[in-house]
């Protein structure tokens, strides 16, 4: 129906504006059901980037924002089609892409449309791009935490895990930091022995069954 289509278009606009960093402008277009998590993301980003915020609070804020970007990123920042495919709930890639249309010879895009499409790609322009941004926020959080602290180990291990299956090369940055800067923690020690990331539970503890099996 018309109302449903309007809600979807407004949500698409909200996600695009948020990707551009226009968070205040984006808010008015999100569905009401997402406002609580979006406001939490914005509040944490604001605290993390405020020069007056104490270092410990900055780290906490970056980490909270990172988790929101990772687990609510599709709804808050995902592209409708490529590369995130919000249209398919992010589950798979199927449908018309700009590159396919450009090369098909049928109704090719105008020069203006081509320019606008090039400007609208997410950063990075990779599948589930918001996971990379979430990992970047986690990296900033970890940099503010003392070496060999349990929390720093949790952050590095968790963020690396977000990337390890899709992009092990990018995840390796987090693995190396984990074993070099948190080797004295239980998580860092386990990572060093496994030569990769141990599996953590929701409390940031190493899953015992996973550890025994590995």
What would the DSSP string read from start to end of 101-130?
HHHHSSSPPPHHHHHHHHHT--SS-STTHH
- The backbone torsions φ and ψ at residue 118, rounded to the nearest 5 degrees and listed phi first, read -65, -35
Instruction: Tally Cβ neighbours within 10 Å of residue 192.
Output: 15
Task: Label residue 169 exposed, middle or buried (CB < 10 Å: 0-12, 13-18, 19+).
Answer: exposed
Indicate if the pLDDT at residue 184 is higher than 90.
yes
Q: What is the H or E stretch that residue 142 is in? A: helix 129-143
pLDDT, average across residues 40-65 = 98
Quick one: pLDDT band at residue 82, thresholds 50, 70, 90? confident
Instruction: Tally Cβ neighbours within 10 Å of residue 30.
Output: 21
The answer to whether the bond into 124 is cis (omega within 30° of 0) is yes
**Residue 115: what pLDDT?**
73
**Residue 143: what pLDDT?**
98
**Residue 100: what pLDDT?**
62
Instruction: Tally Cβ neighbours within 10 Å of residue 35.
Output: 12
Quick one: pLDDT band at residue 213, thresholds 50, 70, 90? very low
Q: Is 144 helix (H, G, I), strand (E, B) or coil?
A: coil
pLDDT, average across residues 126-152 = 97
Between the ranges 94-98, 109-113, 144-148, where is the mean pLDDT highest? 144-148
Burial 42-69 (b: 16+ CB within 10 A, else e): bebbebbeeeeeeeeebbbbbbbbbbbb
Q: Which tens digits make up the pLDDT trace of 13-36?
A: 999 999 999 999 999 999 999 999
Indicate if the pLDDT at residue 103 is higher than 80.
no
Quick one: pLDDT band at residue 209, thresholds 50, 70, 90? low
- Whole-prediction pTM: 0.87
């Amino acid at each position: 129906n018309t109302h449903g289509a309007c809600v979807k278009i407004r949500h698409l606009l909200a996600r695009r504006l948020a990707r551009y960093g226009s968070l205040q402008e984006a808010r008015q277009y999100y569905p009401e059901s997402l406002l609580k998590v979006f406001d939490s993301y914005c509040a944490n980003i604001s605290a993390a980037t405020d020069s007056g915020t104490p270092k410990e609070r900055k780290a906490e804020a970056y980490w909270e924002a990172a988790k929101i970007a990772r687990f609510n990123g599709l709804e808050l920042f995902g592209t409708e089609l490529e590369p995130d495919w919000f249209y398919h709930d992010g589950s798979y890639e199927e449908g018309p892409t700009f590159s396919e249309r450009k090369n098909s010879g049928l109704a090719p895009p105008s020069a203006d449309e081509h320019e606008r499409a090039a400007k609208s790609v997410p950063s990075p322009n990779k599948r589930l791009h918001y996971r990379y941004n979430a990992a970047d926020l986690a990296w900033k959080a970890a940099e503010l935490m003392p070496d060999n602290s349990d929390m720093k180990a949790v952050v590095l291990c968790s963020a690396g895990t977000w990337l390890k299956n899709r992009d092990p090369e990018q995840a390796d940055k987090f693995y190396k930091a984990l074993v070099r800067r948190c080797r004295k923690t239980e998580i860092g020690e386990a990572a060093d022995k496994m030569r990769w990331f141990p599996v953590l539970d929701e409390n940031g503890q190493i899953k015992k069954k996973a550890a025994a099996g590995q």
